[in-house]
């Protein structure tokens, strides 16, 4: 599950799931809702593979969020889901390999709320045996 929460100038996205992999999937959904609005849906006819590094889990998830925004601005691509092929969260070599499935949006498709960047401010990626919780502040 995920939710958008308040931050004075911007928005925070919070995602929660039983596993880190599933939490990343929820994070993807949260970002899509932030940018497209609640009622919008996406096809899954485009697949993009990405490998990313970070020095710890928080750094990795911030880099992941920024990669999604980069893909959107350069290719107009937004993912609706992902398959995590490899995920390592232990510092100092956090690493993610994932296949993103989604759609390249038409230029005239309206956006609800465009995002500039994912910040490190209060970024969290808390993993426990039962739940994984992610929180990111997005600069709009």
Partner 1 sequence: MSRQDRKKKQKKIAKEEAREALRAAVPHAQRPWRSPVPLEPIDEVRWRIPKQGAMRTHGVVYADESLLPDLQADASLEQVANVATLPGIVGPSMAMPDIHWGYGFPIGGVAAFHLDEGVVSPGGVGYDINCGVRLLASDVDVEGARLAGTSKGLERTRKLVDDLFEAIPSGVGERSDERIGGEVLRGLLEGGLPFARSLGWATEHDVAHVEERGVIRGASADAVSSRARMRGGPQLGTLGSGNHFAEIGVVDRVFDEDAARAFGLRLGQITLMIHSGSRGLGHQVCVDAITEMLRAAAKYEIPLVDRQLCCAPVRSAEGQDYLAAMAAAANFAFVNRQLMTNLARDVFARRLGAELRTVYDVCHNIAKIEEHLVDGASKELLVHRKGATRALPKDHPLVPEAYRDVGQPVIIPGDMGRYSFVLKGDSRSAETFGSACHGAGRLLSRGEAKRRFERFDVTKVLEDRGVIVRGASKETIVEEMPQAYKDVADVVDVVARGGIASKVVRIRPIGCVKG
Regarding beta strands 132-139 and 124-127, do their DSSP bridges make them parallel or antiparallel, or are they unpaired? antiparallel
What does residue 43 show for φ and ψ, rounded to 5 degrees?
-80, 170
Q: Does 124 bind partner 1 (CB under 8 A)?
A: no
CA-based R_g, the chain, Å: 14
Q: Does 103 bind partner 1 (CB under 8 A)?
A: no
Structure tokens at 37: 């609005």
Q: Does 30 bind partner 1 (CB under 8 A)?
A: no
CB of 79 to partner 1, least distance (A): 15
Which of 13, 100, 115, 134 touches partner 1 by CB under 8 A? 115
Could you give the CA distance from residue 115 to residue 73 in angstroms, rounded to a whole number? Answer: 10
Q: Does 51 bind partner 1 (CB under 8 A)?
A: no
Neighbour count for residue 134 (Cβ, 10 Å): 26
Nearer to partner 1, 43 or 116 (CB): 116
Q: Does 106 bind partner 1 (CB under 8 A)?
A: no
Query: Binding-site residue total for partner 1 (CB under 8 A)?
Result: 41
């Amino acid at each position: 599950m995920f939710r958008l929460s308040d931050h004075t100038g911007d928005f925070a996205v919070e995602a929660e799931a039983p596993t880190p992999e599933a939490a990343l999937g929820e994070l993807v959904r949260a970002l899509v809702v932030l940018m497209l609005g609640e009622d919008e849906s996406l096809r899954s006819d485009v697949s993009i593979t990405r490998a990313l590094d970070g020095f710890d889990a928080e750094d990795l998830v911030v880099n992941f969020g920024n990669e999604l925004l980069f893909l959107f601005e350069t290719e107009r691509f937004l993912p609706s889901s992902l398959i995590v092929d490899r995920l390592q969260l232990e510092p100092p070599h956090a690493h993610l390999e994932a296949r993103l499935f989604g759609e390249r949006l038409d230029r005239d498709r309206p956006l609800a709320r465009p995002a500039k960047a994912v910040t490190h401010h209060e970024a969290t990626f808390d993993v426990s045996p039962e739940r994984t919780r992610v929180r990111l502040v997005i600069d709009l």
